[in-house]
Structure 1
Amino acid sequence: MTMDNKVIIGYAPTRRRIFSAKDAVKYKKLIADKLREWEIEFIDIEDINEEGLLRCAEDVEPVIDKFRKARVDALFLPHCNFGSEHSCGKVAAALNVPVLLWGPRDEAPEPDGSRLRDTQCGLFATGKVLRRMQVPFTYVPNCRVDSPQFERGFRNFTAAANVVKEFRKGRILQIDTRPADFWTMMVNEGELLEKFGIQVFPITMVEFADKVLELEASGDEDVEETVRYIHDHMEVCIPEDSVRRVAALKTAMKYFARINGCNAVAIQCWDALQQALHVMPCCANALLTDEGIPVVCETDIHGAITAIMVQAAGMGRTPSFFADWSVRHPENDNGELLQHCGPWPISLAREKARLSRPFAFPEHCPGAVVSELKPGEISILRFDGDNGDYGMLMGRAKTIEGPETIGTYAWVEIPDWPKVETMIVKGPYVHHAVGIHGDILPVIYEALNYIPGVRADFYNEEQERETTYAAWN
């Protein structure tokens, strides 16, 4: 199930009766125009009353009913004057979606000393009510409609709501069991369901391999298109029959993900698959991740959850990539090698990617991607847990120059790498992580506000300060 990165906002502007209704309606329209300018999809409440504003108790149930029927992913409560704090609280508590609280900055008092809106005061009141009702919410500080601060905060909130949406519907296609020696990939499937509502849908290697062979022999159009895509976008260094099998493997993963409603895949990439199909799945993983269905290796269920969150935070601007923390840079004490056998999206290759063979396995079956990651700032994260303790290890790095190696790889520099290394060893984290170009830390930090039971672990205090500041500023 490819992520659509579409977030539907329930737009419920609010006012209090004792302040100017005219100015509240004026700001309701100004804010709605700004959302349209930003191409935000939203459901308004124009049909609820003559003002299209959330004003009092009688508006609450009709607003809830409308937003539920529209299946909104998030709720926006702009205070167009003081606002109705109890009405906002009731709507937010009923919908159980991410909530954005904000209001446009007040003008100077009128010449006679009267004030039209008192928006900031109302925000204080609604924040208190939401806390009383134990409703988590996002707050963008009081600023003008045209302020860059409002746009940054709103877009950050929208991306965070996308993360929450994808996390809550998390359903992971597990292709076969974890590799027997990989105890690090153990997960508590029941606890994931109980704590977070995340489902794991397992299939065996037998049924998966049968589907691959069926597609390979069928002349399936998706397989044919994937073969053409590989030849158009990669340097092919393996036999043509192996190219076709890789294409069939990718199509089979997509098929099982679609029919089972899964938004990520975790595959036992070795060694049962090599015994059954004599290829590596790396390129298939890369191609499917590029299409918006993240695929992770070694049946890493927690890695798949990470990939769901990271890819959702990126809002479709760029795909994620699944990596190993591997070895330290030979010269830079804060440098580290991120790599894997070859599952990174080929759209992320610094130069044209090669379809070849991995170096780490004696069989050297074909199907791995060889490419260096294109340079830039990246975010690297890991959702993980053990003994009932869950966290998100999160931080930023930048790519640096380093020795050439095999597979998909990047040398990165991280401030105070020994501290991060120690955090991974001491847990609850492991050597796998998910990266993405750009800084998504403020988005993930805000999303965790709506995912109880998962703490944020930052690489260092400086990145934590910068992220928490960016999340609300």
Structure 2
Amino acid sequence: MKCKKIVLGYVPVMRDTFPVAPAKQMRDRIRARVDEILQGNEHIELADASPLLPDGMLWDNADVEKVAAFLEEKHADALFLPHCNFGQEEAAAKLAARLGRPVLLWGPRDPAPEGLNFRPLDIQCGLFATSKALVRYGVPFTYLENCNLDSEILAEGLDRFARTVAVVKAMRGMRVGQIGLRPRQFLSVKVNESELLEKFGIEVTPIWTEEITTIVAKLRSGNADKIGRVQKIELPMATKRLGTLEDRGPDPSIRQRMEDIRSKVDCTNVKDDTLEKIAVVELAIERIAQLHELDAIALDCWAYLSSEFGIGACFVIGDLIDRGLVVACETDIHAAITARMLYAATFDSSCPFIADMTVRHPTNDNGELLWHCGPFASSLKKEGIKGSLCDCKGFFEIKGGDITLARMDQTKGSYLLFADEVRGIEGPQTNGNYVWVEANDWPAWEKKFMYGPYIHHICGVHGKLAPVLKEACKYIGQVTHDSVNEVKEL
């Protein structure tokens, strides 16, 4: 849940050669408006550096290091540089370069000139100067239109920038657990682990399936207190050691998880022992994620769980996503990364889903079926649908509305992040989990995915978030945004 909140370093900027009093007044008006926008907002926390600065604004290069140290101590995820007058571009750019975090550049519109009287602010003019300085220092930044203080442009821009920062935060240093091997037939989900680490700091962490098996046995025998990391040297002895565990009876969390699953979907056709296996495997994978500090998981859903426990992986995957752990089926690591980014774009509040692009709509040439055999989060169910658990798969249609679709993939060392938007529509009923969507030009989408480095797997999340993903590419680096439709800047 590390992306539920971002810490925004707040550093007002002024030009020392302009009169101080009007800048102070504007400083206070800006802060009052920002506080109004953020009131009740649990996703953005300000780390305000103004108390450290003369007149509460940055203008002196000598203060840069002090402010940077303060923001680092506060674990600021990004930097906001509201200009209170023309601003001091050198100090602002030096601070941004020193921190190396996403930067939001903005200032309010000046009041109308009063005849021949001196203009005390000239904020827009200074924003041009600061933007050039940021470019000179090689600092990527996000610019919000020079708008009035009461404009929704500021409120919407702060929200979208914070979502962008959350995506960048999720991407940097992401740890993806790989449980099992990819299906032999799925050449399309191959990845380059070294490139992911070198380019993006993404670690792919192999998880031995024996670790899951061992934790399941400990949960079933009531020895959850003995769960820890399994070292390779111990694995050959795992089965023998488990035979000596004291049998205290199943851990209470198993029964609790079973009842929680029953409250979500109709389990009439599921035997108790099957539901118990689903519950205990979920708990074991969650424990693995905690032990290895994983942000997402790519799971072998074809062989391991069916051969070891006699269950399918579909509902397990969807239910884990519902509980905040992103899991991709068919050991698709790029899908796990993309889905985690989408989850972050919602501040970890709306579940992503990973679907196959499967069948064109029978009567709408711009319609397409996004489907999979049952791994979608039950919280995404279409309104009025209970949904069922059948053969370890979730069977229900998910809600429509605005949906952002994305896929990060690569070829020959070049990475693209496709991010575009569609709308949910009505379509024929089918099995598993699904939603019918409409694009502005589906044939163009189809060709994009045929020719681009992509596959049939696509990640989705509800909301219009393509601009957020596009902006995140600016800060992530070495990945290029791709789309069918023009995606506007924030």
Give yes or no for contact 1:353–1:369 (8 Å, CA) kept in 2: yes
1:113 to 109, 117, 134: 117
1:241 to 273, 285, 290: 273
Deviation (angstroms), 1:346: 0.2
2:379 matched to 1:354? no
Deviation (angstroms), 1:145: 1.6
Partner residue in 2 for 1:441: 466
Partner residue in 1 for 2:134: 130
Alignment of 1:10-409 (within 5 A): 10-37=9-36, 38=38, 39=41, 40-110=44-114, 113-218=117-222, 219-236=250-267, 237-350=269-382, 351-357=385-391, 367-409=392-434
User: In structure 2, what residue type is equivalent to 1:167?
Assistant: M
2:438 matched to 1:413? yes
TM-score, length-normalised on structure 2? Answer: 0.90
Give the secondary-structure state (helix, strand or coil) at the position aligned to 2:55.
coil
Q: Distance in 1 between matches of 2:15 and 2:265?
A: 61
Deviation (angstroms), 1:221: 4.2
Mark the runs of 5 or more structure 1 residues left unpaired by the alignment. 358-366
- Over residues 218-266 of structure 1, what are the superposed CA-to-partner deviations in whole Å (9 max), with x where a residue is unaligned? 3334433321111112100211111111111111121111121111111
- Over residues 114-159 of structure 1, what are the superposed CA-to-partner deviations in whole Å (9 max), with x where a residue is unaligned? 1111111110000000001110000001111211011111111010
Aligned residues: 455
- Over residues 14-39 of structure 1, what are the superposed CA-to-partner deviations in whole Å (9 max), with x where a residue is unaligned? 00112132222222222223333313
Q: Distance in 2 between matches of 1:25 and 1:222?
A: 57
Q: Distance in 2 between matches of 1:120 and 1:220?
A: 63
Give yes or no for contact 2:354–2:458 (8 Å, CA) kept in 1: yes
Give yes or no for contact 1:249–1:281 (8 Å, CA) kept in 2: no
Give yes or no for contact 2:400–2:437 (8 Å, CA) kept in 1: no
Q: Distance in 1 between matches of 2:324 and 2:23?
A: 41
User: In structure 2, what residue type is equivalent to 1:127?
Assistant: S
Assess, with a 3 A threshold, how the Cα gap between structure 1 residues 51 and 222 changes in structure 2: closer, same or farther.
Answer: farther
Q: Distance in 2 between matches of 1:88 and 1:224?
A: 56
Of 303-312 and 397-406, the range deviating more from structure 2: 397-406
2:8 matched to 1:9? yes
Of 23-32 and 149-158, the range deviating more from structure 2: 23-32
TM-score, length-normalised on structure 1? Answer: 0.93
Give yes or no for contact 1:389–1:428 (8 Å, CA) kept in 2: no
Of 93-102 and 24-33, the range deviating more from structure 2: 24-33
Q: Distance in 1 between matches of 2:143 and 2:254?
A: 47
User: In structure 2, what residue type is equivalent to 1:229?
Assistant: D
Deviation (angstroms), 1:306: 0.3
Give yes or no for contact 2:3–2:166 (8 Å, CA) kept in 1: no
Of 38-47 and 381-390, the range deviating more from structure 2: 38-47
Give the secondary-structure state (helix, strand or coil) at the position aligned to 1:177.
coil
Q: Distance in 1 between matches of 2:45 and 2:251?
A: 36
Q: Distance in 2 between matches of 1:435 and 1:196?
A: 22
Q: Distance in 2 between matches of 1:277 and 1:233?
A: 23
Mark the runs of 5 or more structure 2 residues left unpaired by the alignment. 223-249
User: In structure 1, what residue type is equivalent to 2:347?
Assistant: M
Deviation (angstroms), 1:111: 5.5
Q: Distance in 2 between matches of 1:412 and 1:58?
A: 55
Partner residue in 2 for 1:360: none
2:479 matched to 1:454? yes
**What is the aligned-residue RMSD (CA, Å)?**
1.5
- Over residues 263-312 of structure 1, what are the superposed CA-to-partner deviations in whole Å (9 max), with x where a residue is unaligned? 11110111122101111122221122122221110111100110111111
- Over residues 44-89 of structure 1, what are the superposed CA-to-partner deviations in whole Å (9 max), with x where a residue is unaligned? 1133234221111111110011111111000000011111101111
Q: Distance in 2 between matches of 1:209 and 1:286?
A: 20
User: In structure 1, what residue type is equivalent to 2:282?
Assistant: K
Give yes or no for contact 2:4–2:349 (8 Å, CA) kept in 1: no
- Over residues 400-451 of structure 1, what are the superposed CA-to-partner deviations in whole Å (9 max), with x where a residue is unaligned? 2222111111111122212211211212111111111110111111111112
Q: Distance in 2 between matches of 1:227 and 1:3?
A: 27
Q: Distance in 1 between matches of 2:357 and 2:286?
A: 27
Assess, with a 3 A threshold, how the Cα gap between structure 1 residues 151 and 426 changes in structure 2: closer, same or farther.
Answer: same
Give the secondary-structure state (helix, strand or coil) at the position aligned to 1:339.
strand
Deviation (angstroms), 1:387: 1.1
Q: Distance in 1 between matches of 2:11 and 2:354?
A: 39
User: In structure 2, what residue type is equivalent to 1:178?
Assistant: R
Deviation (angstroms), 1:165: 0.5
Assess, with a 3 A threshold, how the Cα gap between structure 1 residues 222 and 442 changes in structure 2: closer, same or farther.
Answer: farther
Deviation (angstroms), 1:4: 4.0
User: In structure 2, what residue type is equivalent to 1:99?
Assistant: V
